[in-house]
Amino acid sequence: MAYALYVLYELSDGVVATAVVVVVVVVISSSSSSSSSSSSSSSSSRSSSSSVVVVVVEVVVVEVVVVVVVVEVVVVVIVVVVVVVVVVVVVVVVVVVVVVIVVVVVVVAVAVQGSIIKNLSVRRERERARSLYMVQIG
């Protein structure tokens, strides 16, 4: 039994495991000392063995609760990480869309401005050619 308690302590580090081992050792030692000090009837030995069973069940329940809490913490961490990743992806997509829209607007504005300037320069050249023609004719 002591070896099993030692293995339990070594396998599960932490305060909970230490507390469980201490409780089990205290209950077992108190039940063994009470049974050895007084050679009582079979009812007291049944109660001590039932108390050991109760302690073992409590140890199992504590371990299950610890495992459930750890699993819940892991699930919460995974959910938080997924939410953060989704938010980052959405922000990146929005930024990319805004940048694309700005680039398209700038390209269209430059193209329109270039065509306006080209039309004005073509118009000036026509005016100049017409005035030169008028001077040559006239």
- The predicted-structure confidence for 62-114, as pLDDT tens digits, reads as follows 777 777 788 888 888 999 999 999 999 999 999 999 999 999 999 999 888 88
Could you tell me the pTM of the whole model? 0.44
Long-range contacts (CB closer than 8 Å, 24 or more residues apart) made by 48-56: 51/27, 52/27, 52/28, 55/23, 55/24, 55/27, 55/28, 56/24
- Specify the pLDDT at position 70: 83
Interval 43-66 mean pLDDT: 66
- Specify the pLDDT at position 107: 92
Phi-psi group of 14: left, alpha or beta (phi > 0 → left; psi -120 to 50 → alpha; rest → beta): left
Share of the chain above pLDDT 70, in %: 58
- The first and second tokens of residue 138, run together, are 């006239």
Indicate the range of 55-59, 69-73, 97-101, 117-121 predicted with least confidence.
55-59
Q: Do 20 and 8 form a contact (C-beta atoms < 8 A)?
A: yes
- Specify the pLDDT at position 23: 59
Say how many domains are in the chain: 1
Range of 79's domain?
A: 2-137
- Specify the pLDDT at position 72: 86
- The first and second tokens of residue 100, run together, are 């694309």
Q: Which run of H or E residues covers position 28?
A: helix 15-37
Interval 7-36 mean pLDDT: 56
Between 92 and 30, the higher pLDDT residue? 92
Distances in Å between the Cα of 102 and the Cα atoms of 95, 107, 111 are: 11, 9, 14
Distances in Å between the Cα of 40 and the Cα atoms of 12, 28, 30, 130 are: 37, 17, 14, 133
- Specify the pLDDT at position 113: 85
